């Protein structure tokens, strides 16, 4: 969606299959290295608005981008009134969410004009409740009603309307979630997510050259890999379609002939035979290690620790534990030195540990696969591979279909490469 050329490709993909009836678009991305995404331009608009009272200078770049797209498409459509109204409303609303949402809005307006399709504004059909959570029942009903009778409809992704009546966005990359919501609301047989890669790879291609493509994975595997850094699809996008058992297919806009990756309900999922489906890693975690004799017999110990973190508004990623020990893994971005010191003092006061230690600059690597639970020696192979590569493991957290290890940030790439080599073969 970065330019008119890409939008033409999208048009040809959509019109190439009569079953493709509902389209959810994201904002235009980068056209070339060093270019800026439209969403980033819009965040600059908001900053200018807060500093100077309007966004005229910053919005000029957004205006030029969409004028260029319409020109490249040779589209007989006057964007000026839409762009003028958008700039005025940004100035009036003075809302970061509203400003950021205009990339998707304008892209959907253009795509609807290009396809001759019905434009349905997400602000009118996607709703959030008083707590800020997605209001599924109200939204599904509104989407179905708005799309009724339309042979082809276009929705902007990424945003909806909050309980206060104002535009509210999902987290960055939220157009994936919007697509899943529309698929669920309209009872789609499949949710195709078109992007710039031909599906999921078994690990990051910046770490391993030409890693194997994953032909199919389960919703659970997708969730685990996406959270740990496999950023092909927003990790939250599975929830609407999972409840309706709607498959997701990741496809490449620039190579539509490629098979892509299917993400399937467990009832439809057939393991490929590989023990491991994929490997993903994420840096910058903090681990609080707590030790106390007879911890296992102290009723409420874990609850007390977690209540401290809840008090400080800090969520927990993992809690590996032993009889007398527990580790609390936290994303470092939610901490600063002052908050961490307060948390440690509060834990000491609440549970009086014998010993407590903090490890920072920690990376988590998840090795994921349904085949792991039924394969003898998987853990042994993984740990031997890391030992042979000289990687020191700081922590282990193992489930039925994943093994998560913590290592130093600087060892993450080496760790992923070693695991890939063990389960998928030689690199390069």
Residue 159's H or E segment, with its range, is strand 159-161
pLDDT, position 100? 97
Residue 231 backbone phi and psi in degrees, to 5: -90, 30
List the beta strands (DSSP E) in 226-354: 248-252, 261-264, 278-291, 325-331
- Say what the pLDDT of residue 319 is: 92
All residues at 6 or more sequence positions from 226 whose CB lies less than 8 Å from its CB, including other chains: 232, 233, 234, 235, 280
Q: At a CB cut-off of 8 Å and minimum separation 6, what does 247 contact?
A: 190, 191, 241, 262, 263, 264, 265, 268
Those residues with Cβ within 8 angstroms of residue 169's Cβ, 6 or more apart along the chain or in another chain: 97, 100, 101, 158, 159
pLDDT of residue 371: 75
Per-residue pLDDT of the chain (428 residues; tens, 9 = 90+): 799 999 999 999 999 999 999 999 999 999 999 999 999 999 999 999 999 999 999 999 999 999 999 999 999 999 999 999 999 999 999 999 999 999 999 999 999 999 999 999 999 999 999 999 999 999 999 999 999 999 999 999 999 999 999 999 998 888 999 999 999 999 999 999 999 888 899 999 999 999 999 999 888 888 888 878 777 888 788 889 988 999 999 999 999 999 999 998 877 877 667 889 999 999 999 999 999 999 989 999 999 999 999 999 999 988 988 899 999 999 999 998 889 999 999 999 999 999 999 999 999 999 999 878 778 889 999 999 999 999 999 988 888 788 999 999 999 999 999 999 999 986 65
Dist CA 266 CA 264 (whole Å): 6
Q: Which domains does the chain have, with CATH numbers?
A: 4-188 (3.40.1160.10), 278-424 (3.30.2130.10)
The pLDDT > 90 percentage for the chain reads: 81
Stated as kind and residue range, the H or E segment containing 92 is: helix 80-93
CA count, 13 A, side-chain hemisphere, 75:
25
User: Residue 420: CB partners within 8 Å, gap ≥ 6?
Assistant: 202, 203, 207, 208, 211, 279, 427
Tell me the pLDDT tens digit for each residue of 98-141. Answer: 999 999 999 999 999 999 999 999 999 999 999 999 999 999 99
Q: How crowded is residue 242: how many other Cβ atoms within 10 Å of its Cβ?
A: 20
Q: What is the arrangement of strands in the sheet containing 191-195, beginning at the earlier edge strand?
A: 191-195, 248-252, 261-264, 216-218
Which pLDDT belongs to residue 427? 60
Alpha helices in 245-336 (DSSP H): 301-311
* pLDDT single digits (tens) 221-231: 888 888 787 77
């Amino acid at each position: 969606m970065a330019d008119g050329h890409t939008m033409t490709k999208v048009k040809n993909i959509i019109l190439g299959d009569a079953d493709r009836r509902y389209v959810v678009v994201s904002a235009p991305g980068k056209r070339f290295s060093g270019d800026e995404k439209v969403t980033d331009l819009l965040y600059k608009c908001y900053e200018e608005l807060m500093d100077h009272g309007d966004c005229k200078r910053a919005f000029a770049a957004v205006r030029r981008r969409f004028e260029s797209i319409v020109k490249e498409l040779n589209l007989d459509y006057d964007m000026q009134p839409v762009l003028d109204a958008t700039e005025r409303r940004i100035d009036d609303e003075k809302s970061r969410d509203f400003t950021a949402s205009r990339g998707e809005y304008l892209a959907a307006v253009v795509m609807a004009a290009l396809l001759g399709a019905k434009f349905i504004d997400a602000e009118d059909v996607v709703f959030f409740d008083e707590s800020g959570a997605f209001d599924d029942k109200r939204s599904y009903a509104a989407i179905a009603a708005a799309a009724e009778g339309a042979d082809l409809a276009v929705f902007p992704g990424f945003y909806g309307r909050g309980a206060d009546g104002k535009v509210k966005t999902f987290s960055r990359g939220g157009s994936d979630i919007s697509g899943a919501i529309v698929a669920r609301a309209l009872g789609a047989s499949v949710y195709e997510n078109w992007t710039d890669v031909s599906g999921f790879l078994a690990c990051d291609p910046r770490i391993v050259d030409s890693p194997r493509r994953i032909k199919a994975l389960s919703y659970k595997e997708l969730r685990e890999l996406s959270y740990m850094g496999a950023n092909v699809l927003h990790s939250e996008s599975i929830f609407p379609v999972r409840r309706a058992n709607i498959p997701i297919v990741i496809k490449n806009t620039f190579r539509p002939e490629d098979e892509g990756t299917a993400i399937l309900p467990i009832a439809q999922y057939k393991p490929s035979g590989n023990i491991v489906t994929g490997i993903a890693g994420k840096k910058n975690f903090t681990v609080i290690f707590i030790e106390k004799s007879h911890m296992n017999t102290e009723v409420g110990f874990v609850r007390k620790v977690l209540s401290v973190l809840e008090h400080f508004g800090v969520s927990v990623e993992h809690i590996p534990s032993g009889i007398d020990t527990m580790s609390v893994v936290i994303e470092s971005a939610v901490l600063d030195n002052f908050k961490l010191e307060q948390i440690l003092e509060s834990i000491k006061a609440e549970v009086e540990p014998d010993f407590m230690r903090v490890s920072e600059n920690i990376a988590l690597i998840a090795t994921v696969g349904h085949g792991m639970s039924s394969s003898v020696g998987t853990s042994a192979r993984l740990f031997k591979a890391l030992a042979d590569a000289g990687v020191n493991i700081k922590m282990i957290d193992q489930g039925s279909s994943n093994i998560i290890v913590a290592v130093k940030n600087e060892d993450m790439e080496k760790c992923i490469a070693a695991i890939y080599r063990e389960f998928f073969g030689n690199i390069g």
